[in-house]
């Protein structure tokens, strides 16, 4: 190779190389270290991998501990009323809002904006809390993130995995996987709009097929604080079991991509897993197997505000070696009274903004697994307000006293 060709080779290589920028984790770094300081009864995990920075990329010197466990964002579910009961009876490490349109926050009429801001209502007791946004216009995303940051949120999450067709028609949600360049522009825009709080991403492993290697590397080039991997493709929706081998691969991709950050003890992107997590014990087991930094729990929380209470319990194992951590177990009367409390909070905070029918999916989740549940659900489906729900519940409880 002559000198001219050698010069061209190095010039091309320098243009193609991408410097790995250290992500700004903000509170996520503190939380990661805090959870890492919680000791297991046996002193560590089965595979011991959490001690080895070369294996999974944990910060050098980080104590053995548990994964970060957070509430998943769910449309028409994780509103302020739902988060109120979750936070009161089993606080997760971090709460998430339901997703909100970035375009809407910037462009909506005063009436429309009022409704969107209702989706972003939160109480100071809810911190730490992250707002999730979706959108495909970098300009509007930047402006929306500024609005959210000014509201006092601890972080902002970008939805790049929702399969809802109305969201995809806006080239947002799962549609982002079809346009990796735009996805990075959206992340950078969010960082410009909210430079003082961490930006995270929730996504899937691919659109119609497994595209995790290229898609995750593309996201990592924008250095988000956290990437949550829903362990299915968009095509699979939730019709097949979540495959946590994808999460394990995502950790390996992160470790390889951000190797220089990891081995020098710098902050690096955290990888969370999501999909089919039914309990805190299940979260611990899935995190151990996948080596994920955190776990996001969604459907497992339906009708069970006590789920995250297990985070405060000792970390123990059963005879087979799996984690065995139990949550607080309410009586039937306690469960129905919390459902009523949830309903009243929904009416007080969101009455006139959201349809009361939203609560009925929660009734189905709360009311099951006991004698008379079917009949009670049928009665609750006919209610139109918290007062009617109270009458139905009190009448049912009077029969079982």
**DSSP three-state, residue 121:** coil
Measure the CA–CA gap between 288 and 279, rounded to whole angstroms: 14
Residues 261, 369 within the same domain: no
Strand segments (E) across 186-293: 199-204, 226-230, 270-274
H or E element at residue 325: none
N residues, the chain: 401
User: Tokens 């990437």, residue?
Assistant: 227
DSSP character string of 73-97: P-TTTSSHHHHHHHHHHS--SBEEP
Residues 340, 204 within the same domain: no
pLDDT tens, residue by residue, 347-392: 999 998 999 999 999 999 999 999 999 999 999 999 999 999 999 9
pLDDT for position 290: 94
pLDDT at residue 43 is higher than 70: no
Measure the CA–CA gap between 342 and 295, rounded to whole angstroms: 25
Cα atoms in the 13 Å half-sphere on the side-chain side of 386? 16
pLDDT tens, residue by residue, 255-271: 999 999 998 889 999 99
Residue 386: count of CB within 10 angstroms of its CB: 20
Q: Which of 3-7, 25-29, 290-294 has the lowest mean pLDDT?
A: 3-7
Measure the CA–CA gap between 335 and 381, rounded to whole angstroms: 18
Residues contacting residue 192 through CB under 8 Å, at least 6 positions apart: 142, 145
pLDDT at residue 155 is higher than 50: yes
206: left (phi over 0), alpha (psi -120 to 50) or beta: left
**Which of 261, 280, 312 corresponds to the end of one domain?**
312
Q: How confident is the model at residue 52 (pLDDT cuts 50, 70, 90)?
A: very low
Residues 262, 386 within the same domain: no
Residues 167, 211 within the same domain: yes
pLDDT for position 103: 97
Residue 11 lies in a domain: no
Which has the higher per-residue pLDDT, 102 or 47? 102
Residues 304, 383 within the same domain: no
How many separate domains does the chain show?
A: 2
Report residue 344: phi and psi, to 5°. Answer: -65, -40
Residues 275, 392 within the same domain: no
Residues 260, 341 within the same domain: no
Q: How confident is the model at residue 55 (pLDDT cuts 50, 70, 90)?
A: very low
Q: Which of 35, 80, 145, 162 is catalytic?
A: 162
Residue 320 lies in a domain: no
User: Tokens 């998430």, residue?
Assistant: 96
Provide the mean pLDDT of the chain: 89
pLDDT for position 46: 38
Rounded to whole angstroms, the maximal C-alpha distance in the chain is 93
pLDDT average, residue stretch 65-89: 95
Measure the CA–CA gap between 168 and 174, rounded to whole angstroms: 7
The answer to whether 220 and 176 are in contact (CB under 8 A) is no
pLDDT for position 64: 55
User: Is there a catalytic annotation at residue 162?
Assistant: yes
DSSP character string of 281-312: HHHHHHHHHHT-SEEEE-GGGTT-TTGGGGGG
Residues 251, 352 within the same domain: no
pLDDT tens, residue by residue, 104-144: 999 999 988 888 999 999 999 999 999 999 999 999 999 99
pLDDT for position 139: 98
Long-range contacts of 18-22 (CB under 8 A, 24+ apart): 18/221, 20/220, 20/223, 20/257, 20/258, 20/260, 20/261, 21/223, 22/223, 22/261, 22/266, 22/267, 22/268
User: Tokens 């995809």, residue?
Assistant: 168
Residues 155, 195 within the same domain: yes
pLDDT at residue 4 is higher than 60: no
Domain coverage including residue 348: 332-400
User: Tokens 């497994």, residue?
Assistant: 210
pLDDT tens, residue by residue, 196-216: 999 999 999 999 999 999 999
Residue 326 lies in a domain: no
Residues 39, 147 within the same domain: yes
CATH number at residue 38: 3.20.20.70
Residue 373 lies in a domain: yes
Q: What is the pTM of this model?
A: 0.90
């Amino acid at each position: 190779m002559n000198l001219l060709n050698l010069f061209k080779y190095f010039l091309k290589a320098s243009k193609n190389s991408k410097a790995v920028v250290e992500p700004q984790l903000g509170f996520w770094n503190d939380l990661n270290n805090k959870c890492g300081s919680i000791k297991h009864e046996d002193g560590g995990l089965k595979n011991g991998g959490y001690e080895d920075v070369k294996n999974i990329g944990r910060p050098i010197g980080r104590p053995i501990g548990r994964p970060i466990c957070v509430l998943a964002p769910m449309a028409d579910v994780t509103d302020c009323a739902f988060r109120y009961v979750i936070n009161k009876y089993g606080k997760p490490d971090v709460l998430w809002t339901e997703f909100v349109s970035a375009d809407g926050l910037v462009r909506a009429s005063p009436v429309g904006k009022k409704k969107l801001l209702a989706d972003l209502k939160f109480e100071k007791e809810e911190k730490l809390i992250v707002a999730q946004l979706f959108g495909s216009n970098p300009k509007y995303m930047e402006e929306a993130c500024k609005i959210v940051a000014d509201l006092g949120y601890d972080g902002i999450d970008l939805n790049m995995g929702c399969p809802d067709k109305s969201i995809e028609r806006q080239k947002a949600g799962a549609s982002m996987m079809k346009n990796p360049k735009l996805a990075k522009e959206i992340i950078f825009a969010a960082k410009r709009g909210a430079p003082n709080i961490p930006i995270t991403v929730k996504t899937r492993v691919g659109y119609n097929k497994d595209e995790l290697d290229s898609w995750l590397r593309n996201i990592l080039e924008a250095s988000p604080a956290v990437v949550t991997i829903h362990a299915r493709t968009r095509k699979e929706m939730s019709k097949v079991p979540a495959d946590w081998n994808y999460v394990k691969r995502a950790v390996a991709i992160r470790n390889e991509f951000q190797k220089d950050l990891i081995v020098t003890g710098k902050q690096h992107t955290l990888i969370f897993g999501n999909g089919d997590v039914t309990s805190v014990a299940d979260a611990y087991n899935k995190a151990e197997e996948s080596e994920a930094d955190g776990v996001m729990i969604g459907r497992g929380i339906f009708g069970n505000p006590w789920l995250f209470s297990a985070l405060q319990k000792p970390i123990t194992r059963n005879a087979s070696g799996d984690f065995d951590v139990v949550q607080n177990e309410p009586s039937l009367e306690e469960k129905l009274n919390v459902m009523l409390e949830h309903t009243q909070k929904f009416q007080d905070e969101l009455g006139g903004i959201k349809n009361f029918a939203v609560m009925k999916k929660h009734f189905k989740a709360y009311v099951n697994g006991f004698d008379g549940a079917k009949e009670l659900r049928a009665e609750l489906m006919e209610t139109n307000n918290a007062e009617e729900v109270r009458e139905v519940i009190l009448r049912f409880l009077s029969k079982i006293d």
